[in-house]
Structure 1
Amino acid sequence: MRISLRNRLFGVAATAAALALTALASPAAAAPASASGPAPATALAPASAAAAEPAAPALPRPTGRYATGRDTLFLTDHTRTDAWVPAAGPRQLLVSLNYPARPGTGGDPAPYMAEEEARLMLAQRGLEDVVPPALVGATRTHARTAARPAPGRFPLVLLSPGFGTPRATLTGLAEELASRGYVVATADHPYESTGTQLPDGRVLTCAACDKVDAQPDDAARREVLAAVSAGRADDFSFLLDRLTGPDPAWRHARTIDPRRVGMAGHSIGGNAASSTMAADRRVDAGVNMDGTFFDPAPVRGLDGRPFLMLGTDPGHGPGTDTSWDEGWDRLDGFKRWLTVRDSGHFTFTDIPEIGEQLGIDDPDAPLSAARSTTITRSYVTAFFDRSLRGRPARLLNGPTPANPEVLFQHP
């Protein structure tokens, strides 16, 4: 039995979610969740008790020539106090590092996310009694823990998840990029996710979401969300210092080529990509996957560095999210504005694959999981291959028969 889900699968916190995702971005977007709590899940119908217990989902296998490894770093920036919970002390980051690895090395497949992280993510949309958190947490990955790095030095790509969304939801893209010869650092930003489990077992919840929800109007909420994006820029500058500086925190830091750095993000993480580029010249190229520019970094210009805007259609077509129109006009280097027919806000994450395998449909985003994965992987990789490696990227030249859903916008 399949479950029909009209509200976006595994969404994020209440009004903060709707704002950070699309409600402020587009008049054509779905109505936001109530300020008093998560959006109602009235379209859900749990499977029959007699139904067979589903197997844990599996992420699609990466397509590149490299095997992949994964490490985890827990870092503390002693120069900054956490903006959302000052009493917590210095700002901290939990970072997954996916990297090209020697085949046949390493231990077990890396875990997807902790069960408590999965439970909190599901609970925000009223799904914890419909989808077993243990199944989502046990989603099968392909990177191996403690794998030996492949020889050579590789470009670095930073990934930032959506507001209220765990970093794990970008694992499929991280594994794909690693298999194509990139080191990928995906960060959980403390108190900006439904749940982040620290190495000592503590779980941080979304204080920043509460801050957004407490604002009196949309203008005030936008200010907080702009601060989220700008704060993530500080997070990634700190992370770059710890990965490429004189005393690196990662044992395999020698595999990173610090002269070739890109960044991509989903939702507000996409805004964070432009915020980071505006603040840190070390980031050479950026991708915004369906995120409003609350922090108007493109307005300040990115000094000719390339940028890709990849979004839903029509939700992020010209004239719908005006921040994209304004950003596009001021981007001053190689740029592409692509939208994808039949897509939803989470098309560019692991959510379509997990949802489809667990029997959950989203009628608002009829694009299949397979097409969601193929499009996201293909265009993001092509962009970084062109921008960081100087390789031809014909996929970015215009529409192709193999990808009829992808529209090239020329406002």
Structure 2
Amino acid sequence: MWRRGPRADDDRVNEIITGLHMSPLESLAVLGALTLVMARWLPPTVRPRVTIAAGAVLVLSAAVLSVTGVRWQMLPVLAGAAFTVPFAVSPLLRRRTGRPTRRARWWLALPGSVACTSLIATGPAAAWAFPVPVFPEPTGHFAVGTRVMQWTDPHRPETATADPHDRRTVVVQLWYPAQHSPAGARRAQYLGRTGPEARTVSDALARYSGLPAFLLDGPPRAHTHAVFNAPVADQGGRLPVVLFSPGLGGVRTQNTAWAEELASHGYVVAGLDHPYDSAAVVLADGRTVNTKIASTGDDDEDDKRAMETTGVRAADLSFVLTRLGRLDRGESPGPLTGRLDTSRVAVTGHSLGGGAALQAARQDPRFDAVINLDGYPRDPDPRPFHQPALALTQAIGPDTDARYLPRLIKVLRLSTATSYRLTIPGAAHLTFMDGPLYLPPVPSIVGSLGRADSVHVVTAATLAFLDTTLRHEPGDLAEVLSAYGDLSVHRPDDSG
């Protein structure tokens, strides 16, 4: 589990709430609704007081929630309470007016009580399945800052539009070691710079996944541990850089927990939005660029398009590295001037982004290491490359594309440095992103490692590899990695 560092009390409260997956107000509403149902079965002497107290708690919490925002998970709770109220209040009103109170026989009341209890219990179950994500506390010595930039490459036309004057633009979010912010500093919104941007991105991710948008109302409500535009840490010297490309349809923030953990250990992480490929990209002028990627139903055509998209992403990664170099030299204004060590750079990615990272490493010798998070290599011209590589994969099963593992092994063997393939037991494809923090804990979707441990295993393996390859820290990397799964080591002189 994560090591606890010095944090404010509200972080400890968040850790308690994440176990419940409900806010204190929501928990009170559920408690009030359940107590209202159960009051009918209490002795007559205490029934009125319990009913009044439960009703007061329910009404007050529901009133406050109506102001702060009611999540869809609370609707069955409120519906169950609404069905219960007339039956709970009617005896009290009769008693006040002096009329005789009548109670339904228990065998008539029991089905209604069971039905209302079941309806109310649906709320906590839905909150557990689709929670507001609470991000694990970073374990490094540094606080984490974040900022967003938008860069346009004047030398590359935008191939996704018909405008011959349109040039390729990418949106980049940096997570970096920062000075500790004052107590109460507002932490960064998840999925966007603002609430509306976060909701736009969340809705787009739901559409891309084929889900109703309301199911993913949790992520845009979440805040991370980073603080926007926090001052860069005074210590740490020049900081190694990690570039990240998300999965197909993914967004720059999809690995926020991973990025914050790396930043807390002294790395600068640059996550990319790839317009027309990412589900939604909100540009600086307010325009939203939605994905143009869609399955054609033809496997060969889809593979061809994925290969083209991977090539565009590889070029985006090289372009961003160039712009980071200019930022470090002061050619672009920014607080990270003079702090970015662009001689120590890793290129990483998840899924299609992992394939793009491998291709970028082969094409651009400025990258010093490459990490592929369960991505299919799609480089049309696989040739030897000099960087050490780490490939993290889910367990290979009968449903895995039969071409995946042979192609991945072939590419890893092309490295002229020692490379590693780590298969993590219990992992699924979405284990390697933030998905386990807010999606239903169904093993076929997010794996069986659990919400917090999914992030822990992926970040721990990543940090071990980066510390060895970029910081040249001593130690047996193979021994460290093997603690997290089934490890295969591919050495340059090993033909097998």
1:228 is the counterpart of 2:304: no
Q: Tell me the equivalent position of 2:175.
A: 98
| Number of residue equivalences | 355
CA-CA distance at 1:249 after TM superposition = 5.4
CA offsets 1:354-388 (integer angstroms, 9 cap, x no match): 22xxxx23231222122211110100111111000
Q: Tell me the equivalent position of 1:363.
A: 443
| Unpaired segments ≥5 residues, structure 1 | 3-45
CA-CA distance at 1:188 after TM superposition = 0.3
Deviates further, 101-110 or 142-151: 101-110
CA contact (8 A) 1:382 1:393 kept: no
CA-CA distance at 1:295 after TM superposition = 1.5
Residues 28-39 of structure 1: matches in 2 within 5 Å? Answer: none
CA offsets 1:92-145 (integer angstroms, 9 cap, x no match): 111101110111269521111111110111123343355243x21122200111
Residues 9-408 of structure 1: matches in 2 within 5 Å? Answer: 49-50=76-77, 51=123, 54=127, 56-87=132-163, 89-104=166-181, 107-113=185-191, 114-133=198-217, 135-151=218-234, 152-207=237-292, 209-210=293-294, 213-214=295-296, 217-245=298-326, 246=329, 247-248=331-332, 250-296=334-380, 299-303=382-386, 305-315=387-397, 321-355=405-439, 360-364=440-444, 365-397=447-479, 403=484, 406-408=485-487
Deviates further, 148-157 or 239-248: 239-248
Q: TM-score, normalised by structure 2?
A: 0.67
Change (3 A) 1:317 1:325: farther
CA offsets 1:298-337 (integer angstroms, 9 cap, x no match): x31112x210011101157997532112213322212101
Structure richer in helix, relative to its length:
2
CA contact (8 A) 2:276 2:289 kept: yes
CA-CA distance at 1:291 after TM superposition = 0.5
Change (3 A) 1:173 1:290: same
Change (3 A) 1:177 1:86: farther
CA-CA distance at 1:48 after TM superposition = 6.5
SS, match of residue 133 in structure 2: coil
CA contact (8 A) 1:158 1:264 kept: yes
CA-CA distance at 1:394 after TM superposition = 3.5
CA-CA distance at 1:70 after TM superposition = 0.4
CA contact (8 A) 1:309 1:338 kept: yes
Q: TM-score, normalised by structure 1?
A: 0.80
> What is the root-mean-square deviation of aligned Cα atoms in Å?
2.7
Deviates further, 319-328 or 373-382: 319-328
Letter in 2 for 1:379: A
Structure richer in strand, relative to its length:
1
4+ residue stretches of structure 1 with deviation over 4 A?
52-55, 315-320
CA-CA distance at 1:395 after TM superposition = 4.9
CA-CA distance at 1:285 after TM superposition = 0.2
CA offsets 1:208-236 (integer angstroms, 9 cap, x no match): x13xx24x732332222112111112112
CA contact (8 A) 1:302 1:331 kept: yes
